[in-house]
Amino acid sequence: MMDINQVRPTRAIVNLDYLSHNFREIRKDIPKETRICGVIKANGYGHGAVKVAETLIGEGIDYIGVATLSEALEIRKKFNEIPILVMGYTPNEQLKSAVERQITITIFSLEQGKILSEEGLKLSKIPKVHIKIDTGFHRLGMRPNQESIEVIKNINELKYIEIEGIFSHLALKNEKEDYKQFNLFKKIIEELEKENIHIPIKHICDSIAAAVYKEFCMDMIRPGASLYGYISRNTPMELKPVMTLETRISSLIDINEGEGVSYDYIFVAERKTLVATLPMGYSDGIPRSLSNNGYFYIKGQRSKIIGKICMDQCMVDVTDIDNVEVGDIATLYGYQGNENISLTDVANLADTNRNEILSLVSRRVPRIYVKDGIIDDVLDYLLE
Ligand SMILES: *Cc1c(COP(=O)(O)O)cnc(C)c1O
């Protein structure tokens, strides 16, 4: 393990105990027979996909879900056995490597079925696919109609291919729309079964749908956000935020009334102000829209971000915080001691959602992994 003092003070502390805890809460909350596909796209929502996968595999997760083939291959390098589903689009040119490395691919055309089957024949492997149905999200998938049933029949007749799953994704507009989508999905499955096509893994739920609609859980759910501790619906699950994003004060500067801070002086001091500089900027994962608009927590107190956030640094007003010193911890979200600083507030102020903020945490931010209550690993992508 890397020496923690050798990585920068701007850090994402990732609590793997909480990740395990959240997984168990989700497990308890859904039907016993429903599998879980843990979604770890976008570097595990910023937490570090490999470590997240390792923890979830340790908890007995059934499947790993990612958005791109490259994300799947990153996981496959470390974990040989775990089934991995690319939920997004894979270009024809990349299908061969998917077959070689036994990655399950999402398809919605006969053309891709044929390519996979040909590659399967060449490599003596049976590629696994999940068929995507567009029940109303209008992003990817075949429409739920007779033509699609014919396409799926044709794919099913290809020799070197296994249709292991079929899935859709909800727009979560409201209950009426969600049921409409779910019923369209169920209907196409029924039609396929009439044709004697029985697909073993049928799935439609993300975190929210799995929490809200138990009757939609089917053979598998695909939670992302809830694994990392967040869900924006009422639920009996007690989820814990996995990530804390923090840094340490690098400099303190006294300025007088009337003096400005950072580019363009969008902040001008209305009093004598103590300015703390933090070595965290928008390229680390703090949204630039928090300029003059967000807060860090220092010594348990809110300190306002003043002036424009720079690429690598930002400034906060610490005039009202007693005994503040260079090296003090400044937390953007997550835990400071026992206090939980709300990521939801940060997302609201930045006018975005929590998943975006988490996935913004960039490569140059070291991840500090906590397990069994102690530091278990230190990962710096740049020093690896
Ligand atoms: C990202 C994604 C998920 C996970 O969504 P959450 O809202 O984070 O639970 C599930 N399914 C698909 C197809 C996705 O793209």
Number of the ligand 1 atom closest to the C-alpha atom of 355: 8
Using a 6 Å CB cutoff, which residues line ligand 1?
Answer: 39, 41, 87, 169, 206-207, 222-225, 355
What are the residue boundaries of the structural domains of the chain, listed by start? 16-228, 243-379
Closest CA to 117 of 140, 69, 107, 80: 107
Tokens at residue 137, please? 């999200």
Please say whether the beta carbons of 263 and 307 come within 8 A. Answer: yes
Closest CA to 210 of 17, 27, 59, 88: 27
Q: Of the listed 77, 78, 173, 263, which one is catalytic?
A: 263
pLDDT for 68 equals 98
SS3 184: helix
pLDDT for 175 equals 97
Question: What is the band of 48 on the pLDDT scale with cuts at 50, 70, 90?
Answer: very high
Question: 65-98: buried (b, 16+ CB within 10 Å) or exposed (e) per residue?
Answer: bbbbbebbbbbbeeeeebbbbbbbbbeeebbbbb
Determine the Cα–Cα distance for residues 206 and 224; give it in Å rounded to an integer: 7
Q: Is 90 exceeded by the pLDDT of residue 232?
A: no
Number of the ligand 1 atom closest to the C-alpha atom of 167: 13
Which helix (H) or strand (E) segment holds residue 370: the answer is: strand 367-371
Q: Is 90 exceeded by the pLDDT of residue 383?
A: yes
Distance 37 CA to ligand 1 centre (A): 10
pLDDT for 344 equals 97
Q: Is 90 exceeded by the pLDDT of residue 212?
A: yes
Determine the Cα–Cα distance for residues 105 and 230; give it in Å rounded to an integer: 27
Q: Is position 263 annotated as part of the catalytic site?
A: yes
Nearest CA to ligand 1 atom 6: 224
Determine the Cα–Cα distance for residues 168 and 314; give it in Å rounded to an integer: 42
Mean of the per-residue pLDDT values of the chain: 97
Distance 41 CA to ligand 1 centre (A): 9
Q: Which single residue is written with the structure tokens 């950072």?
A: 262
Q: Is 90 exceeded by the pLDDT of residue 31?
A: yes
pLDDT for 217 equals 98
Q: Is position 333 annotated as part of the catalytic site?
A: no
Superfamily of domain 243-379: Lyase, Ornithine Decarboxylase; Chain A, domain 1 (2.40.37.10)
Q: Is 90 exceeded by the pLDDT of residue 24?
A: yes
Which helix (H) or strand (E) segment holds residue 27: the answer is: helix 16-29
Question: What is the band of 359 on the pLDDT scale with cuts at 50, 70, 90?
Answer: very high
Give the mutation target among 132, 166, 206, 217 for probing the ligand 1 site: most ligand atoms within 8 A of CB.
206
Determine the Cα–Cα distance for residues 164 and 107; give it in Å rounded to an integer: 11
Question: What is the band of 153 on the pLDDT scale with cuts at 50, 70, 90?
Answer: very high
Cβ within 8 Å of residue 232, ≥6 positions away: 208, 344
pLDDT for 98 equals 98
pLDDT for 1 equals 86
Phi, psi for 85 (deg, rounded to 5): -110, 125
DSSP per residue, 98-110: HHHTT-EEEE-SH
Q: Is 90 exceeded by the pLDDT of residue 152?
A: yes
Determine the Cα–Cα distance for residues 193 and 20; give it in Å rounded to an integer: 37
Mean pLDDT score, 350-374: 97
Pure H helices in 101-203: 110-123, 146-157, 175-194
Pure H helices in 46-92: 49-58, 69-78
Please say whether the beta carbons of 171 and 184 come within 8 A. Answer: no
Determine the Cα–Cα distance for residues 253 and 273; give it in Å rounded to an integer: 8
Distance 134 CA to ligand 1 centre (A): 15
Binding site residues, as ranges? Answer: 139, 311
The predicted-structure confidence for 104-129, as pLDDT tens digits, reads as follows 999 999 999 999 999 999 999 999 99
Mean pLDDT score, 138-146: 97
Give the mutation target among 30, 36, 39, 220 for probing the ligand 1 site: most ligand atoms within 8 A of CB.
39
DSSP per residue, 280-316: --TTTT--GGGTTT-EEEETTEEEEEES---SS-EEE
Binding site residues for substrate, as ranges? Answer: 139, 311
Question: What is the band of 137 on the pLDDT scale with cuts at 50, 70, 90?
Answer: very high
Cβ within 8 Å of residue 187, ≥6 positions away: 144
Please say whether the beta carbons of 110 and 155 come within 8 A. Answer: yes
| pLDDT-above-90 percentage for the chain | 98
* Domain 16-228 CATH (choose: 3.20.20.10, 3.30.460.80, 3.90.1150.10, 3.40.630.10): 3.20.20.10
The predicted-structure confidence for 255-271, as pLDDT tens digits, reads as follows 999 999 999 999 999 99
The predicted-structure confidence for 72-99, as pLDDT tens digits, reads as follows 999 999 999 999 999 999 999 999 999 9
Question: What is the band of 384 on the pLDDT scale with cuts at 50, 70, 90?
Answer: confident
Determine the Cα–Cα distance for residues 130 and 201; give it in Å rounded to an integer: 8
Tokens at residue 115, please? 């390519």
Measured CA distances, 246 to 14, 73, 306, 332, 381 (Å): 11, 30, 17, 6, 17
Question: What is the band of 100 on the pLDDT scale with cuts at 50, 70, 90?
Answer: very high
Phi, psi for 6 (deg, rounded to 5): -95, 0
